[in-house]
Amino acid sequence: MEVLERPLPKPTTEDYIAARLLEALVEARLALDFLARGLVRNAAGKAFQAWRALLAALLRLEVDNLIKLAKTEEERKWLMERAVPRIPTGRMKALSQMLEEIGHEGLSFVTSTALNLHAYQYNGPDPDMAMSKYRNREEAVVDVKLLMRELVRRVEKLKARVKWTNELENALMELKREVES
């Protein structure tokens, strides 16, 4: 877990992608650990953080393609200076849609689930569904598990495109075992 305490490499470096992927895998394992302990709201928060870290890795990996999509110089600057290093929660949906435009199919729908879990973390279950999209904790548990399976699937697809380390491989295999059990 000390992985989460390490300083991040600069977002302009290749190492940033690997660091964010490792962060995503560690946060995902924490989400599953919280689920096992019955801490569903905490698990939802960790699942959201894991997905956000994956988005950060994807944004950095695809930054050149995303800059080509940007319509203005201001938008290109924002992508480099804000989106990649910070991944603003309020813009995650739009950033996911941009990533979809360049080939990351289905990303926007999955990001919607992550954002729903983020709201659940703060508001808990809501039978009226005014503050949360989950009427009960069981619905949130299902989405945490589904989100973590999707995260594993997407990280596996990136292995050939990023600087893959033993640390990443070990973290992925551990998470994969937990997701499949």
Compute the chain's Rg from CA coordinates: 16
Q: Six-digit token pair at 149?
A: 């399976």
At 1, the pLDDT band (50, 70, 90 cuts) reads low
Tens of pLDDT along 73-103?
Answer: 999 999 999 999 999 999 999 999 999 999 9
117 vs 44: CA distance, rounded Å:
5
Residue 44 has pLDDT above 90, yes or no: yes
Task: Write down the mean pLDDT value for the chain.
Answer: 95
Two structure tokens written together for 134: 């989950």
Which residue is it, tokens 């879990």?
A: 117
The predicted model gives 37-51 an average pLDDT of: 98
Q: Is the pLDDT reported for residue 3 higher than 80?
A: no
Spatial contact of 53 and 45, defined as CB atoms under 8 Å apart: no
**Band (28; pLDDT cuts 50, 70, 90):** very high
Question: In the block, which residue shows the tokens 């926007």?
Answer: 108
Q: Is 48 helix (H, G, I), strand (E, B) or coil?
A: helix
Mean pLDDT, residues 116-140: 96
Asked if residue 6 has pLDDT above 90, the reply is no
Using CA atoms, how far apart are residues 107 and 113, in angstroms rounded to an integer? Answer: 10
C-alpha to C-alpha distance for 148 and 138, rounded to whole angstroms: 16
CB 74 within 8 A of CB 82: no
Mean pLDDT of 148-174: 97
Q: Alpha-carbon distance 73 to 120, whole Å?
A: 36
Closest to 98 (Cα-Cα) out of 69, 127, 136: 69
The pTM score is 0.96
Which 3-state string (H, E, C) describes 69-115?
HCCCHHHHHHHHHHHHHHCCHHHHHHHHHHHHHCCCCCHHHHHHHHH
